């Protein structure tokens, strides 16, 4: 229901604040501490999606974190009109 990219970013940061700080289920290199921009959201969306896709059995917490960034990237793209401008789902484009 976020109506601006900044509100999406705020919600993502609220979610990150709720994660246990030293949870062994999320490797340190896959744990965003804070996101500051739509570009950060897109970066973590791609990083986490690629990591989860490369694991034979990713744990549920890592999958949940990935889903948060997938949905945040999709919502930011929707709000910015990127999908309509590019004729594609920009939230799904990584690499």
| 35/5 Cα distance (integer angstroms) | 12
32 alpha-carbon distance from chain centroid? 9
| 62/10 Cα distance (integer angstroms) | 20
Exposure string over 43-56, b if 16+ CB within 10 A, otherwise e: bbbbbbbebbeeee
| Res. 44 pLDDT band, cuts 50 70 90 | very high
pLDDT of 5 higher than 60 = yes
pLDDT of 41 higher than 60 = yes
pLDDT of 82 higher than 70 = no
Helix intervals (H) in 21-93? 38-53, 60-80, 82-86
């Amino acid at each position: 229901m976020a109506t601006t990219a900044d509100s999406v970013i705020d919600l993502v940061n609220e979610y990150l604040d709720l994660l246990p700080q030293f949870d062994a289920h999320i490797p340190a290199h896959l744990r965003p501490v804070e996101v500051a921009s739509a570009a950060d959201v897109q970066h973590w969306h791609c990083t986490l999606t690629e990591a989860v896709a490369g694991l034979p059995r990713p744990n549920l917490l890592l999958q949940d974190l990935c889903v948060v960034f997938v949905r945040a990237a999709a919502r930011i793209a929707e709000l910015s009109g990127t999908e309509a401008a590019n004729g594609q789902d920009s939230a799904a484009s990584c690499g």
